[in-house]
Structure formats: structure tokens, C-alpha cells
Amino acid sequence: GEDVEQSLFLSVREGDSSVINCTYTDSSSTYLYWYKQEPGAGLQLLTYIFSNMDMKQDQRLTVLLNKKDKHLSLRIADTQTGDSAIYFCAEKPSGNTGKLIFGQGTTLQVKP
């Protein structure tokens, strides 16, 4: 089946690194995504990683993928108060539908 799990809450201090974790069950997933949702707003795509990659870095964001353990993480370096939001992990199952399976979302709280 298709299932994506995330921890619900993370609190860090401004300037620290944040690491948000995600596990998924579908080993045939082709892409894995990280989305950011600010209060009352839609989803903003932050980054994604193809399933045959181990790591992807984009400025302050680092995505690590452990395909064997079906574990995905998002590291935000030098976390800022503007990073406070809900972060969703999502997987795209194999097949060509474009459908995404989302985790429950991790609320990141950044304290000054």
C-alpha cells in the first residue's frame, strides 16, 4: 500500500539547523517531494528528489534519501523565523497519473 508518515511537530531556535523526517512504504515511488504550507495558504514546492538519488542540495535545503529504509529527510540550515510553517513530505507512486500521496505534515516552529 501507499503510506507516508511524518512526525507532527519540531521546534528549533533561529540559526540552528532543522531536520524533518519522513518514511514511506511504496518502494516503487519515482519522486519524493517536500512542500511548505504557510497558514491559510496553498502548497509551495520546496524541492524534490528522484528515487535513484541519495542526496540533493539547494541553497539552505538538503534532502537525503535512504531508499533501503524508505526514509527521507529535509535539512534546513540556518533556520529563520520565516521558515515557520507546515512541511509536507509526498511521494509519487510509479505509474503516470501525477497523483501524490502526502504525509500528515510537520509543523516547524522557529523561536527567535
Partner 1 sequence: GAVVSQHPSRVICKSGTSVKIECRSLDFQATTMFWYRQFPKQSLMLMATSNEGSKATYEQGVEKDKFLINHASLTLSTLTVTSAHPEDSSFYICSARKTGLDEAFFGQGTRLTVV
**Would you tell me which residues interact with partner 1 (CB under 8 A)?**
4, 30-31, 35, 40-45, 48, 88, 92, 96-105
Question: Concatenated DSSP letters for 66-82?
Answer: ETTTTEEEEEESS--GG
Return the number of the residue (73 or 107) whose C-beta is nearest partner 1. 107
Contacts of 33 (CB under 8 A, 6+ apart): 45, 46, 47, 48, 88, 89, 90, 91, 92, 100
**Minimal distance in Å, beta carbon 15 to partner 1?**
27
Return the number of the residue (34 or 105) whose C-beta is nearest partner 1. 105
Contacts of 19 (CB under 8 A, 6+ apart): 10, 73, 74, 75, 76
**Minimal distance in Å, beta carbon 17 to partner 1?**
25
**Minimal distance in Å, beta carbon 67 to partner 1?**
18
Return the number of the residue (5 or 78) whose C-beta is nearest partner 1. 5
Return the number of the residue (44 or 81) whose C-beta is nearest partner 1. 44
**Minimal distance in Å, beta carbon 18 to partner 1?**
19
